[in-house]
Amino acid sequence: MNPALSSVKIKSAPAGAGVIDKAAPNDVTAAVCIDAATRACRRIAPLWPLQHFVAVNPFLGWSDRSFTAACQWATRSGFGEMLMPTRFYAQQYRSGRIRMADIEQALALAGSSVSLQQCLDALHDARPEAANQAPACWPTMADHLDAETGSAWAGLITDEISKWCAAYFDEGQSAWRMPWRNQPLYSAWRRAAAFDRTPELAGIADFRRCIATLPESPAAAISQILAGLGVADDRLEDFCQRQLLTVAGWSAWLRYKTWPAEPAQAATALLELLAIRLAYDYALYIRVAQPLELQTWRLRWQASAVSSDAVAEDSLQIRHALQWAYELAGQRSLLARLASPPPAAKLVPAERKVLQAVFCIDVRSEVYRRALEAVSADIETLGFAGFFGFPIEYIGLGHHHGQPQCPVLLQPKFRIRESVAEADVGDLRKILEKRWLNKRLNRLWKGFKHSAVSCFSYVEISGLTFAGKLLSDSLGLTRTVAKPGSAGLDRAVVQRIGPVITRQRGRLIANGPVVETGIALGERIELARKALQGMSLSDGFARLVLLCGHGSSTVNNPYAAGLDCGACGGHSGEANARVAAAVLNDREVRAGLAAQGIAIPRETWFVAGLHDTTTDQVRLFDLDQVPHYFAADLAQLQDWLELASQLSRRERASALGLANADAKALGQAMLKRSRDWAQIRPEWGLAGNAAFIAAPRQRTAHARFDGRVFLHNYDYRQEGDGAILNLIMTAPMVVASWINLQYYASAVDNRRFGSGNKVLHNVVGTIGILEGNGGDLRVGLPWQSLHDGQALRHEPLRLSVIIEAPAAMIEQVLDSQAEVRQLVENRWLHLLRIEPDDGRCFRYGGHNAWQPVSLDPEEF
């Protein structure tokens, strides 16, 4: 409980309209109310804004409970479905994907209370057109009145709160700003409510006077309302959670606003929104609900705490077991690919290669890595988190602050600014002044186009002058807008922009504050050492080492950041790759590394690159800084990349409906997709992700995973204390789980955990989207990112994690990292390991127990 709120007293409402005059069955204290409300707020997962959209585990607040318990709570409370309908598993069973042996094993692993025969009966009885009927959820007052009287209070309340939050949190989309933005959310809403007649017109008599009687403190208001509604003490947390779920999107946004604050601080922010939502139910309770309706409402809450529907409970248990069986079937396919050639074969480190290419562990990189390795036996690829171990804030040219270029679980530790190569102070000033002038003119022009006075006349007079641009944009020949990083700059200048890694102090903009940017030498050496060790690349360096980040090209797409690099905070990995390459090419850094036992040969050079996952083009950076004696190597690299790009496009073509195109036409078609402002599926992103493997590349090099596996290089022999494995399991593995569970949830229940139909999206305040013109802020992924119109492109599977390391090392991480242990022990993911010495596979069974898993190809 937040100590600042523990002393709150429930204030009696003044005499007159709005006083609670309906008998409440209990007398709850303020401390109990706020404690329950605070616990409910801590269950909310954050929602990142569109500009930095990253995958988030929507069940983040429930990781301390088992997956089974979360499924039960979600079904009862209206949180959302966490399992597919029985008809889905029946289809998988009829197709042969799920076998009877899978169901038997699933029942044993899940500790299910249902029998094999019950599962088989459910599969045989499931009709293709039938769907599971979820039990009635715990109702808010608005839900209950809607069910009893046919009203639409729940929708109205959600719309009203969403409309208010959109105006309050707007980040520049609206031309006219709300006058109360300088006040706390609840206080601002309470003042606006004094003028808002919408609820009264809808049928809540004296709504404004009713709200005026509430305390000015949100904590006191929550306490007063909860005490008045008469919800039992042991149901208060569920009741508050249910209230927040009616505006789940805005609740998630407020959780992000306080991320990564302490739980008490995050709860304090959410309490303001909870107070607003409760206030509407409070008004319905006083002014609309009849005594009999109140009685039945309270009985539903009391009954749901002590009773459950046995049939519904068995149905849930059956679906849970079938989900396990479905995932075991997926693991069988995955392990079959690892089993040939036999995993017991001696893993011999490869000879020194001509090229080593380090890619992000993103599943899309797996396709390109295989393609690049297929081009030449002289190429070795490695997998590492796409920020390359450099947690930076990257400040673009002409800006005074930047964006985090690191996983959202981390905080940037260094500021890196951009500058223009070979530009003196005067040249740089002229470049910046030109950019600022162009941006100001563009801002004025945009304001003129969207103003209430000029918008119609502007279209009437000058619309035809844009016909050429409109046509070329529509055909995908040009981009609809310039890329933000190059807006207002000449092409020649753009080619000279790059990061400055050395420590400097100065102003980033005219009249701005003096700030410190860059990285000190000692810190550069330490970052370089950790990055190389994390890549398992401390010796055997190739002549060229490519550090290849990734990003996506798309236009008119609110979810564009979701297609970029999650390890870079929802941005392109270009900045991190260039910074990492610059640091590793630094002579002083190399000297410092050599003193620590990592000797990078003089004839090794690090090259930064960017893989465009929409077009499969790879762009190389800072080639003017490469010594001349690498000219032939660079030419060879570019030839190899072009061949790999063609192979990767060919593999991806069928999923994009381009299977019959030749190499040239395929390249042009994918480029067109990246520029098409009507394209709802520029690429498939991380759809299909199913597993995370941390092992030497020799273990997986022979296998084709079809872009479904996060591949992280890891060789336990290169460390003695387990620090690298600890980092892998607490950062990349957790991030992969976040991604997996977001895709899982969006596929299982897109209405609750996804964002619906992409065609209907409307951007709100530049921070999120509504589906249509009202409703709650949507979370998760649009349906078009998961489904191709015929079938799901993403299979809803919990992540299977496979680590090649001794059991003791993995258990050491689980014992020291409580949050990681929760993910594993509570079955939010599956953990398997490969014994390095003999290649045997084991499944984690809980409490540091391991069960053998067969890798015999004949059993697959």
What tokens were used for 83?
A: 């399992």
Cα Rg of the chain, angstroms:
29
Contacts of 91 (CB under 8 A, 6+ apart): 128
- The helix/strand/coil state of 694 is strand
Distance, CA of 60 to CA of 41 (rounded, Å)? 12
Instruction: Tell me whether residue 406 is annotated as binding.
Output: no
- The helix/strand/coil state of 564 is coil
Instruction: Tell me whether residue 550 is annotated as binding.
Output: yes
Distance, CA of 405 to CA of 572 (rounded, Å)? 8
Contacts of 667 (CB under 8 A, 6+ apart): 615, 645, 646, 649
Contacts of 460 (CB under 8 A, 6+ apart): none
Instruction: Tell me whether residue 360 is annotated as binding.
Output: yes
Give the position of tokens 């903009």.
Answer: 509
Residue-wise burial string across 779-802, b where 16 or more C-beta atoms lie within 10 A, e elsewhere: bbbbbbbbbeeeeebbbbbbbbbb
- The helix/strand/coil state of 70 is helix
Phi, psi for residue 801 in degrees, rounded to 5: -105, 125
CA distances from 188 to 185, 191, 636 (A): 5, 5, 63
CA angle centred on 739, ends 735 and 741, rounded to 5°: 110
DSSP assignment of 789-850, as one string?
Answer: SSSBSS---PPEEEEES-HHHHHHHHHH-HHHHHHHHTTSSEEEEE-TTT--EEEEEETTEE
Contacts of 13 (CB under 8 A, 6+ apart): 19, 20, 213, 214, 224
Give the position of tokens 């509430």.
Answer: 214
Q: Give burial (CB, 10 Å; 0-12/13-18/19+) of 754.
A: buried
Instruction: Tell me whether residue 362 is annotated as binding.
Output: yes
DSSP assignment of 10-55, as one string?
Answer: PPPPPSSTT---S--S----HHHHHHHHHHHHTTPPP---GGG---
The answer to whether the CB of 823 falls within 8 A of the CB of 737 is: yes
Cross-strand partners of 446: none
Binding-site residues = 360, 362, 550, 565
Binding-site residues for Zn(2+) = 360, 362, 550, 565
